[in-house]
Structure 1
Amino acid sequence: MHLVVVESPAKARTLRKYLGKGYQVLASYGHVRDLVPKEGAVDPEHDFAMRYQVIERNAKHVDAIAKALAKAEDLYLATDPDREGEAISWHLREILRERDVLDAKPVRRVVFHEITERAIREAMAHPRDISQELVNAQQARRALDYLVGFNLSPLLWKKIRPGLSAGRVQSPALRLIVEREEEIERFEPREYWTIEARCRKEEARFVARLTHYEGRKLEQFDIGDEARAREVADTIKRAARGVLRVEKVERRQRRRNPPPPFITSTLQQEASRKLGFSAQKTMRIAQQLYEGVDIGAGSVGLITYMRTDSVSLAQEAVEEIRAWIARHYGEDRLPPKPRVFKTRSKNAQEAHEAIRPTSVARTPESLKERLTRDQFRLYELIWRRAVACQMRHATIDTVGVDLACEGGHRFRATGSTVVDPGFMALYQESAEGDKKEEERML
């Protein structure tokens, strides 16, 4: 019998379904060890030596794993494919070594980025050793959490008030917030006015903004108060007598390419804008979709691993998406070559994938009855973005019109029309601050 250990019971249920007989799958229920909660847990004087203890609430799960290992021929550590998952596997191996229950049994680390039968069997067939580099990265993060928080928090209690805390992340974040607030407080508001003309040509209505007054281009603060604004408006009304003539029309065509598939941060941002989800809620639901949802034939992982900073997609995923687009939207919706996105972060782990559906054939509508409302909404967002990223660009006509009247007064109206929606037929990215483009036909 082979023993497989994962973090969560939901993930364990999905793996049991795929691995079948001959495998026992147990959950560690998250981290199994942490630093001792007292001074000296990290010792900078001795190469930052760290003292750990088993987390009390998970001690019974560690005991169950140790007991099962006694009857197993080997151990597969299948925790998440990031530094936290690597650390859980390392800590578990160290505990079992200390308890002397490994007995020279092979310990294999298996990594998969999606919980599907193909991915799991591929990972089980190609195990590796625990990556000490990833473990060291996690330990460095944990040591900094301890050293900053343990040493600074008591100082805050003493100097300011009890209950305050400092941290490796929260303290620099707080500084950024304070500095931005100070900038806002230093800002000196300055009044300015803009003037617009409500125009109509036959049945088309649009708005044009004043850009030149008495032959001179207006700067932002040229019209500084209401009295001046009304004076300018009255002058133009007398000169125009209700009519503006078209002086120049500029037409341009531009392309808009689809956004890359989601990484952790962009998923959180877009789920906040479009769905109103907090970052915590987004990650909780994404975890459910990753670990597996019962869709009628047992538990199935619906998305790839949701903690990633890479925008790359596996070749087979790209091929499946392109085939689906050709079948449902037509070959003309595909670019000549697959789109390849480059990860901007220098520290991105390129072995990871972007967040995508594990099978594009599982459309949101086909799963709607099996998912909760929030699961459906987040899955639909991920599915649409992943499919759209391999679709043809959108083609947009933009128009700029200069309108003028006697006296050197000139207005500018702009608008755009979608000639070919391309990927926009499936997905439109939210603009930051929830600003929506107004598409006007001129």
Structure 2
Amino acid sequence: MPNALVIVESPAKAKTIERFLGEDYVVEASVGHIADLIQPKDVKADNRYDHGLHAENKTLQGFGIYSPRASVEEPWKPWYVNSPKSQKTITQLRKALKKADMLYLATDEDREGEAIAWHLVEVLKPEIPVFRMVFHEITEKAILKALENTREIDMDQVAAQETRRILDRIIGYDLSGLARQTIGGGATGGRVQSPTLRKIVEREKDRIRFISATYCTVTAELHASTAETFNAKLLEIDGQRIASGKNDFNENGELKKSTEVMVLDERTTTNLKESLKNESLSVESIETSPYRRQPKPPFTTSTFQQEVINKLGGSSGAAMAIAQSLYQNGYITYHRTDSPGLSDQAITAARASIENVCGLDYLPDQPRLYTTKSDSAQEAHEAIRPAGETFRNPEELKNELDKDQIAVYELIWKRTIASQMTDQTGETVRMVLNGEINEEEKQRVKFSASGRTITHSGFRQIYEETPDNSDEQETDLHGILPDLTEGEKVTIDVIEINNHETKPPARFTEASLVKWMEETGIGRPSTFAATIGKIAGRDYVFKDGRSLIPTFKAFVATNFLEIEFQDEVDYQYTANLNEKLDGIADGTTNQTQFLNEWYFKEGAWETKIADIQGLVKVDLPRIRQEIAHAVGLDLENNQTIYARFANQKPYVQYGMDGETASIPETLPPDQLSVAKAKEFLTLAAEPDTILGWVESQKALELFQNDLINVETILGFVDGKGIPVFLRKGSFGPYVSLGDFPKWPRQTSKEGQLMKQPHHLKVIKVACAYLKIAENNKENAALQTILNEPKRGVGKKSIETLEGIADNEKISLYEALEQQTFLAEKPSKAVKKLLKNIKKWHSENIDEPIGFRLRELLINTGYWKEVSRMEKAEEKIKLLENLLANMNEFQTLEEVLDVLDERTELKNAPKPKTASLLEKMEPDTISLEDAINLLSLPRVLPITEPITVALNPAPKKGDASFNLLKGGVISVHNGPFGPYLKADCEDGSNQTRSITEDEIFEVSFEDCIKHLETPKKFAQKQSKQIILKDVDGKACLDNVSEKPIEIKTGKFGPYVTDGVTNASLQLGDSIEQMTCERAKELLSERRAQQNTN
């Protein structure tokens, strides 16, 4: 038999399939996509680029996608390049292909898999027969059957994937660019991401608007003549129904039907309780009805994610990662599917399992058949089910799978089997009772009691479903009611009054968000997890338990998109795009025609983006004001308080330019009231506490010779010295000697310009261009830009120019104008530079400053230079943010003044600071305590050679070390507590932890004793924090069964079970970390590792 090469997507899948094929087959993995869209910065350097053909093609320049400008015949042409991370894989695949006589492409049978197969053909260019093989499960029979039933690549599916990629690239790039200019902080937008985020924010706004209503309900314990007791609920008084739930009230806390419904308050129910005591009721009616409940269908991708999150916890991403590992190793069928249907083989296997596990009583006469309700199901896959002709019991797999995998497999196994089982059946009884109370008013009351008996458990014998919101409320159902007849009397024994309060709409969990996305048609089940992950990764949401809470960054981003992209964030718009993709996939929609209409048509995407970009360029302050979240009106000063987001932090502000105060990033928006906002504003306005003053000579000693003139420190008062402040910091209270330089408010345009990353070269060069354009005598600025981009002016030439400038007392700019010694090429480049600088004072002078600077950077060639740099996209974004910031200023002089002021503030002397010790309380700290802290580190001189012998001596390594004569032992208060550091003869340092009680008192001799103790036996600096569960016992991880600790590492705090480490996410904190949340973080981290 000829040699065959089979290419699958993942190495794990390759290993599994290889077991089923003979030695004539070699199975290799593409490791996902091997080709992707070219980055726009690389377009001009690509060998396909032709300036005459492509220079004016905006989509190619901006997105790496060639567009035909409305030509129906000429298709859109994305420029694909081999993924850099796939180069090694491609080489390996080409090597394997040379030894093969036929090629089987066995990537997943969905649009992404079809596109990967097509890219493999395009990149590898095989000259041997190529076959497309597909399968829904990785079993020997399925693989061999797939080999016998190959087909060609489905180019309609490829076109649908390509169109989706084009839409995501264009929409994502355009929305993200605008979001970064208006919001900053890594803000992004996307075709699916933005409407999904809008829904999360909408729900939070509903909660903010919500006004709670209070009401009471009455439950009676009734005593029948048979001595049996049962409960009944008060329904009516004098024919008027009693309010009994949220459906009776609107979001303003008002009754929907005020004339038909009565609200019981506490006073009314207290009187009612007295009136009802020992009264009797008579049975008015008894209704009996059969009860039947059918099982839910087997899992689709969406229902699988929802059920895993609801029952097992974790995230949709973790659920999909575990499913991926189960599929790749042959335990379940393909897990990206819209279909709830089962094959005949699967139905047979399920029915056999039912008979074996539950018995024939639970096996219906006929199999159940399920079909999709969606018109847009992408592929003809089966539902997610256990793989194979027979379903393996989860108990059989406990030695093969870890606990997370077992839990997910068992859920799939039970759901699949339950879907083919009998209905749950029983009987529901509803009894209505009435009576008369209050002899004077003779009020008629009506009560209701309901009960249910289950005669056959059916599918619930094996699977308990998670109820959804639409399920009937069963809280008032009881097992069995007494056997009474109409007209029979019962006695009221006990009356219970229950107080209730309507609750705001529940926030989305990942499970409920996935359900909403599927029902609305936003995205695809296979991408739900990635979309939610992206929203969380951009700090648009954080988790509280399972709830997804939007941040104020999300509010501002959504407000911007709702104002400027009302149609595009409309849910139906996104759903319609998905329908178009489905049409392309099934061949009923023309790809080119759809893209042309969507992009080029009048009023379509291209025009709209250009209009909004122009608006942002000239009217950014107004836009930022419009997209702020209005918290409410402060009635005391008649000013509106807004919540805003800038410089990657949320804050509140009075009006457009009033006082500001930072707010916590994880403050739930529905908790930010006017009163709460005023607390933050009041706290921010409070001055730091001055503990006392330090006279000049003592201050110089505390600065330890780092300062020459104490008068340069802010806060210095002649005759008093320097103030000592007690301050509040991000990491707790601290003291400072002197005041900090007064920087402008971070949220002001001046503050934002100062906070730009001026240390980065692209920002330095851009600002230098601005300075030299305005004042050609700025020699330092000209030196910065002279070879940005490279103009061939060498170091010796620059030194010659500087010499000419010094000798003739002229500027470097004038020396450049007069020079005659440069070679032709650099001379030509310099003349072009000078020409563009001169234009600054004559062209576009009425345009915003940022716009003018952009034109200068483009005309001088620097913008092009940046677009070719490594990480060009990030650097262009930095420039865009800088230019947008500059557009807010009215004059160039204002911008230059701010840049000069920034330099002065940056170089101003900083106060000396020191953190408080753990045992110190801010309320009781004295000036003496503060001075002691500021005097650290204490320095103890080493006056003679000392050999320190370690005790106990280590088994390996040196048993001693020598201290450096003339060196010092210094005592510090570090981030992990007090410690000492000693200078050694070999140039190294020895450190040991000490206690807080020793920090001010430890002697030289005691320091030597500490140094004699090897580090491994010394007091540890980092504290061990072992999480506890609700019972106070150590929190054990579900998989490793080891205690979970919280630690602090190089990249911040993280949880660990000693095997897996998981960083804390936005919204998590060490203080509020729970056992459940820690397990969730570790589960998600393991899932990520399984997919890598």
CA distance in 2, matches of 1:205, 1:9: 65
Deviation at 1:230, TM superposition (A): 2.2
Match of 2:231, as an amino acid? V
Q: 1:351 maps to which residue?
A: 380
Corresponding residue SS for 1:262: coil
Q: 2:292 maps to which residue?
A: 255
Moved more, 242-251 or 109-118: 242-251
Deviation at 1:27, TM superposition (A): 0.7
Verify: 1:418 aligned to 2:461, yes or no: no
1:399 and 1:416 in contact (8 A); partners too: yes
Q: 1:120 maps to which residue?
A: 143
The equivalences for 1:388-427 within 5 A come to: 388-407=418-437, 408-427=444-463
CA distance in 2, matches of 1:226, 1:119: 67
Deviation at 1:56, TM superposition (A): 1.2
**Match for 1:431 among 446, 458, 467?**
467
Match of 1:208, as an amino acid? A
2:104 and 2:130 in contact (8 A); partners too: yes
Structure with the greater alpha carbon radius of gyration: 2
CA distance in 2, matches of 1:50, 1:388: 47
Deviation digits for residues 50-108 of structure 1 (CA, Å, limit 9, x no counterpart): 011111112101110011101111111101111111111111110112xxxx22x1111
TM-score, normalised on structure 2?
Answer: 0.38
Between 1 and 2, higher relative CO (CA 8 Å, sep ≥ 6) is seen in: 1
CA distance in 1, matches of 2:239, 2:134: 68
Deviation at 1:248, TM superposition (A): 2.7
1:31 and 1:88 in contact (8 A); partners too: yes
1:211 and 1:218 in contact (8 A); partners too: yes
Q: 1:68 maps to which residue?
A: 96
2:241 and 2:262 in contact (8 A); partners too: no
Deviation digits for residues 143-164 of structure 1 (CA, Å, limit 9, x no counterpart): 1110011112111111221410
Q: 1:296 maps to which residue?
A: none
Deviation at 1:255, TM superposition (A): 1.3
Deviation at 1:205, TM superposition (A): 5.6
Match of 1:71, as an amino acid? K
Moved more, 32-41 or 127-136: 32-41
CA distance in 1, matches of 2:153, 2:359: 45
Q: 2:361 maps to which residue?
A: 332
**Match for 1:309 among 325, 335, 338?**
338
**Match for 2:232 among 198, 203, 208?**
208
Match of 1:440, as an amino acid? H
Deviation at 1:433, TM superposition (A): 6.1
Match of 1:399, as an amino acid? V
Verify: 1:228 aligned to 2:268, yes or no: yes
Q: 1:415 to 1:136 in 2, by over 3 A?
A: same
Deviation digits for residues 94-124 of structure 1 (CA, Å, limit 9, x no counterpart): 0112xxxx22x11111000000001000001
Deviation at 1:315, TM superposition (A): 0.9
CA distance in 1, matches of 2:132, 2:238: 76
Gaps of 5+ in 1: 293-300
Q: 2:404 maps to which residue?
A: 374
CA distance in 2, matches of 1:434, 1:376: 30
Corresponding residue SS for 1:269: helix
CA distance in 1, matches of 2:223, 2:408: 42
2:110 and 2:378 in contact (8 A); partners too: no
Deviation digits for residues 180-202 of structure 1 (CA, Å, limit 9, x no counterpart): 33333333333322222234667
Verify: 1:362 aligned to 2:392, yes or no: yes
Deviation digits for residues 195-248 of structure 1 (CA, Å, limit 9, x no counterpart): 2223466786643211021354335451253222323333323xxx16544333
1:223 and 1:229 in contact (8 A); partners too: no
Corresponding residue SS for 2:20: helix
Matched positions, count: 426
Q: 2:1050 maps to which residue?
A: none
TM-score, normalised on structure 1?
Answer: 0.91
Deviation at 1:399, TM superposition (A): 1.6
Q: 1:440 maps to which residue?
A: 478
1:273 and 1:434 in contact (8 A); partners too: no
**Match for 1:274 among 311, 320, 327?**
311
Q: 1:323 maps to which residue?
A: 352
**Match for 1:137 among 140, 160, 163?**
160
Q: 1:364 to 1:437 in 2, by over 3 A?
A: farther
Deviation at 1:320, TM superposition (A): 2.2
1:236 and 1:409 in contact (8 A); partners too: no
What is the percent sequence identity of the aligned residues? 44
Deviation at 1:410, TM superposition (A): 1.7
CA distance in 2, matches of 1:76, 1:306: 22
The equivalences for 1:32-181 within 5 A come to: 32-38=34-40, 39-45=62-68, 47-97=75-125, 102-103=126-127, 105-181=128-204
CA distance in 2, matches of 1:124, 1:372: 32
Q: 1:24 maps to which residue?
A: 26
Corresponding residue SS for 2:412: helix
Deviation digits for residues 310-331 of structure 1 (CA, Å, limit 9, x no counterpart): 0111111112222332344333
1:42 and 1:146 in contact (8 A); partners too: no
Corresponding residue SS for 2:478: coil
2:326 and 2:332 in contact (8 A); partners too: yes
CA distance in 1, matches of 2:240, 2:206: 33
CA distance in 1, matches of 2:279, 2:460: 39
Match of 1:316, as an amino acid? Q
Corresponding residue SS for 2:342: coil
Corresponding residue SS for 1:18: coil
Moved more, 391-400 or 372-381: 391-400
Match of 1:235, as an amino acid? S
CA distance in 1, matches of 2:103, 2:19: 18
CA distance in 2, matches of 1:189, 1:278: 31
Q: 1:12 maps to which residue?
A: 14
Corresponding residue SS for 1:4: strand
CA distance in 1, matches of 2:228, 2:385: 42
Moved more, 160-169 or 245-254: 245-254
Deviation digits for residues 359-395 of structure 1 (CA, Å, limit 9, x no counterpart): 4431111112221101111100000110111111110
CA distance in 2, matches of 1:272, 1:148: 30
CA distance in 2, matches of 1:123, 1:281: 29
Q: 2:632 maps to which residue?
A: none
Gaps of 5+ in 2: 41-61, 70-74, 249-260, 438-443, 482-1092
Q: 1:384 to 1:61 in 2, by over 3 A?
A: same
Moved more, 399-408 or 416-425: 399-408
Deviation at 1:334, TM superposition (A): 1.8
Q: 1:340 to 1:214 in 2, by over 3 A?
A: same
1:196 and 1:208 in contact (8 A); partners too: yes
Moved more, 327-336 or 155-164: 327-336
Deviation digits for residues 235-272 of structure 1 (CA, Å, limit 9, x no counterpart): 323xxx16544333222112111110000010111111
CA distance in 2, matches of 1:168, 1:286: 26
Match of 2:290, as an amino acid? Q
Q: 1:298 maps to which residue?
A: none
